[in-house]
Structure 1
Amino acid sequence: MPFVENLHTDTHPQSRRFRSLRMVQTPKAGRTLARWGATLGLLVFVAGFVPWTQNIRSQGRLTTLRPQDRPQTVPSTIGGRIQQWYVREGQLVKKGDTLVQIAEIKEKYFDPELLERTREQLEAKIASLRENAAKTVALGGQQTALRQGLQFSLSKARNKVSQARLKVQSDSAQVLAQRADFAIATRQQEAQENLYRQGLKSLTELEARRLKFQESQAKVQDVQNKLSISRQELTNAIIELQSLQAEYTDKISKSESDRRSATSYQFDTEGQIAKMRNELANLSIRAGYYFIQAPQDGYVVRALKEGQGEIVKEGEDIVTMMPSTPQLAAELYVKPMDIPLLRVGRQVRLQFDGWPALVFTGWPGTSFGTFGGTVAVIDNIDSQGQYRILVIPDSTQEAWPKPLRVGSGVYGWALLDDVPIWYELWRQLNGFPPDFVGEPEPEKKAGGKEKKADKGGSSEE
């Protein structure tokens, strides 16, 4: 048997003498291939237990985290004509630097002294308001004087009416006395006539008595006339009293009307003054819009209007600017299936366009040319079937390259859990999503317990 075993070896000299033995022995190439296959299988088996970092791949572009750091257009607040350019494309400007000067195209603003003339009109209106206020005060004093004069005139008229009443009473008494005296004179005359017919009185005595009768009758008529005059004077005094009230009421009403007109003019003037102040303020602000200034430090990217003398409309864009020191962020888009796996603060590896890189997605520590970042924003709504996330530089790792520009392409890998390679291959073949992991850093709850990631499914809430 030792001889037979030795014949199976290629080095034994007797093996060359037997053709059948040469046909059944194992070829040398086959044994070599078997050894390599066994070695490779062993390596694959061992490699299946090597840790692999699960990740979510996405791509996007560079943008900025803050809205004020993104490219912006500088519009013209007012319509006008481009008079002069103060910048060129690509120039670095500071906040407040003049970019463009424009001139007016509306005829109502052509006057170069419009601001000063409007200010003069405002001062004239204010002076007119002061004079009108003085007129209102004067009319108020006039009304006070009229009311006082009315009281004095009414008192005087009432006294005059009282005097007229007393005179009427006095004249009435005189009339009564004179009528009594006339009655006596009438009886004496009749008696004298009888005595004269009887011859007891002379004609001379009778004529003297008739004369006295005529005088008494004349006195009665005279006192009656005086009484009528006194009554007329009383009536006139009453009428004057009534007309005096009406006259002063008319004067006071006219003065009140003038005062109210002055007050109305005052309010109207105050409204005009407020309107003119508003117009003056608008003109002052508009004068500042003739020079379009840079809203912040940045670069003039592109002039949207060319040359001088070109007309720009109100609110029309003139130049595009890019802030000089933007806070860069990578704008990536993730599938809805992967979005529950992301949290704010999750680590991300990034590869930038134009930056050489050697990437091993499963072993981020061995990759070359990639940069670290953390998730800062996760949108709550989708954008064309995907969700947007914003990734900012990771302060604990190497800083992003300074030459990066907004808008350049970027590729990202959101780093998840570490699993064996065989598990990852099995997951990929079955189309399963990556494992759901918890927060990147455990958070302590009350009582000292920590929130840990559950590799099998959801995190402990």
Structure 2
Amino acid sequence: MLNISKDNNVLITPGKYKSITSVARRPHYRILNKVIIGFLIFCVCCLFLPWTQNISGSGSVTTLKPDQRPQTVHNAIAGRIEKWFVKEGDYVNKGDTILFISEIKEDYLDPNLVGNTKQQVDAKKMAAESYSDKVNSLDVQAQSLNTERQLKLQQAQNKIRQAQLKIKSDSMDLVAVRTQLRIAKTQFDRSTALNKEGLKPMTDVEQKRLKLQESEAYIITQENKLLSSRNELINAKVEINRITAEYTEKISKSRSDKFTALSTQYDTEAQVNKLENQYTNYRLRNGLYYITAPQSGYINRALLAGIGETIKEGTSVVSIMPSKYDIAVETYVDPIDLPLVHRGAKVRVWFDGWPRIVFSGWPGLSYGTYGGKVVAIENFISPNGKYRILVSPDGEDRHWPKELSIGAGAQSIALLETVSVWYEIWRNLNGFPPNYYNSGEKEAKGKEKK
């Protein structure tokens, strides 16, 4: 009844009725009320309990270093399978032979290819040495021509000096002869004058005339001799020019031959280097017929089978798992949680196949989880739409199981700030992100407090 009528406005008192009073006084209702009130008080107390914010992720077990992860072995050259030296599950050391292949390319089918190439290298080296000797001989020849030219020039210069001295001597003789001619003419004139006066006989005049004629004839001879000496000087100078031109031509030809020999020598040395490169390649190629293990480990799987099968370059032959490796976990987080993760952050990890009881908000109460630290964060999104994070074991926590195998599944939670339960509920209801955990700031605050 709503008791809205003016006429029937009567209040009902429960205490007047015995049935209501008897029902209200039953003991189990009192206990139920106490239980409800106690539960509500417990829930309110739980709201003030500490709760560790976290970021969850899933991934798998891997190795910390790239060279410790499973790898495939490839052949460097094309060939035909001839013999297997291992089987699946075998342990191999670094350098052990896995497979032997034979040559299939026609350029390398000669069994004496390496020896023949070595002989070609030796022959070219001898040719280069012979050209080097030829260059040395041409150098010696050029030096000899220079020495000979210098001697010839000195000889020609001596001839010039002799011609100059001879010209000087002939010039002095010509001057003397002219003096004698002048004296003979003076004597002849004097004898003629004395003869006219009757003081000298005619014979004396004739002697003076003869002597005058001899002096005139001798002066012509002396002039011819002087001209001849001058011609000899000119010839000596011409000889110097001839010697210079002749030996310049010879030396130039010798140098030209030398440069030709040097060019051939350099070309031969280039051919020697090319042949040595080919020889080294052929020798190394012979070693590539044996495919060896790059590191110690176990043969997981043979990717080829049979004998006589032809394979190309870079074909995967077997898969090897290294025997020694540092375990790690690669886990993936959502893009919205990536800014909250940093290197060195603490992470709790549990593995498939190991029993565990996980309380994400109370990591101290969890069982079967192992400690880890973030060592690498990938800044490029993965094909699954998440970011990859690499976690290594935490040295301050217990050791990870030794029985872990590469590729096993793993789950992880990254620990963030510790807050109250009511705050975490309020944050999730409002869709707020977790508090950013910065270990550097926390450590600085702790030092300031100290």
TM-score in same-fold range (> 0.5): yes
- Corresponding letter in the other structure for 1:261: T
What percentage of residue pairs aligned between the two structures are identical?
45
Is the counterpart of residue 26 in structure 1 residue 23 in structure 2? yes
Q: Is the 8 A contact 1:303 1:319 kept in 2?
A: yes
Residue equivalent to 1:402:
402
How far is 1:32 from its partner?
A: 3.3
- Corresponding letter in the other structure for 2:73: V
Deviation readout 1:104-131 (Å, 9 max, x if unpaired)? 2233322333333333333333333333
Instruction: Show the 5 A alignment for 1:94-243.
Output: 94-156=93-155, 242-243=241-242
Distance 1:222-1:410 versus aligned 2 partners, 3 A rule: same
CA distance in structure 1 between the partners assigned to 2:68 and 2:261 by the alignment: 58
Instruction: Show the 5 A alignment for 1:59-458.
Output: 59-156=58-155, 242-383=241-382, 385-439=385-439, 442-444=442-444, 448-449=447-448
Q: Secondary structure at the match of 1:111?
A: coil
CA distance in structure 1 between the partners assigned to 2:23 and 2:440 by the alignment: 57
Q: Secondary structure at the match of 2:448?
A: coil
- Corresponding letter in the other structure for 2:397: Q
- Corresponding letter in the other structure for 2:319: T
CA distance in structure 1 between the partners assigned to 2:249 and 2:91 by the alignment: 78
CA distance in structure 2 between the partners assigned to 1:442 and 1:171 by the alignment: 120
1:43 corresponds to which of 39, 42, 48: 39
Distance 1:351-1:33 versus aligned 2 partners, 3 A rule: farther
CA distance in structure 1 between the partners assigned to 2:337 and 2:83 by the alignment: 54
Q: Secondary structure at the match of 2:264?
A: helix
CA distance in structure 1 between the partners assigned to 2:322 and 2:161 by the alignment: 98
CA RMSD of aligned residues (A): 4.5
CA distance in structure 2 between the partners assigned to 1:32 and 1:228 by the alignment: 167
Gaps of 5+ in 2: 1-16, 186-217
CA distance in structure 1 between the partners assigned to 2:421 and 2:69 by the alignment: 41
How far is 1:372 from its partner?
A: 2.6
CA distance in structure 2 between the partners assigned to 1:41 and 1:419 by the alignment: 26
Q: Is the 8 A contact 1:352 1:411 kept in 2?
A: yes
Per the normalisation by structure 2, the TM-score is 0.72
Q: Secondary structure at the match of 2:145?
A: helix
How far is 1:262 from its partner?
A: 1.9
Residue equivalent to 1:214:
none
How far is 1:93 from its partner?
A: 1.9
CA distance in structure 1 between the partners assigned to 2:58 and 2:40 by the alignment: 31
CA distance in structure 2 between the partners assigned to 1:69 and 1:287 by the alignment: 29
Q: Secondary structure at the match of 1:443?
A: helix
Distance 1:321-1:228 versus aligned 2 partners, 3 A rule: same
Deviation readout 1:155-176 (Å, 9 max, x if unpaired)? 44566678789999999999xx
- Corresponding letter in the other structure for 2:432: F
Q: Is the 8 A contact 1:157 1:241 kept in 2?
A: yes
CA distance in structure 1 between the partners assigned to 2:445 and 2:417 by the alignment: 22
Per the normalisation by structure 1, the TM-score is 0.70
CA distance in structure 2 between the partners assigned to 1:334 and 1:94 by the alignment: 38
Q: Is the 8 A contact 1:61 1:408 kept in 2?
A: yes
Distance 1:252-1:375 versus aligned 2 partners, 3 A rule: closer
How far is 1:145 from its partner?
A: 1.5
Q: Secondary structure at the match of 1:338?
A: helix
Deviation readout 1:393-416 (Å, 9 max, x if unpaired)? 223333222232222221112233
CA distance in structure 1 between the partners assigned to 2:323 and 2:33 by the alignment: 59
- Corresponding letter in the other structure for 2:140: G
CA distance in structure 2 between the partners assigned to 1:116 and 1:412 by the alignment: 62
How far is 1:224 from its partner?
A: 12
Q: Secondary structure at the match of 1:25?
A: helix
Distance 1:232-1:431 versus aligned 2 partners, 3 A rule: closer
Residue equivalent to 1:6:
none
- Corresponding letter in the other structure for 2:391: V
CA distance in structure 1 between the partners assigned to 2:29 and 2:114 by the alignment: 98
CA distance in structure 1 between the partners assigned to 2:234 and 2:406 by the alignment: 105
Gaps of 5+ in 1: 1-19, 185-218, 452-461
Deviation readout 1:52-111 (Å, 9 max, x if unpaired)? 333222212222221112222222223333332222223222222222222222333223
Residue equivalent to 1:211:
none
How far is 1:357 from its partner?
A: 2.7
Which has the larger displacement, 419-428 or 143-152?
A: 419-428
Q: Secondary structure at the match of 2:89?
A: coil
Report the count of equivalent residues.
408
Distance 1:117-1:441 versus aligned 2 partners, 3 A rule: farther
Q: Is the 8 A contact 1:346 1:440 kept in 2?
A: no
CA distance in structure 1 between the partners assigned to 2:162 and 2:276 by the alignment: 64
Q: Is the 8 A contact 1:48 1:420 kept in 2?
A: no
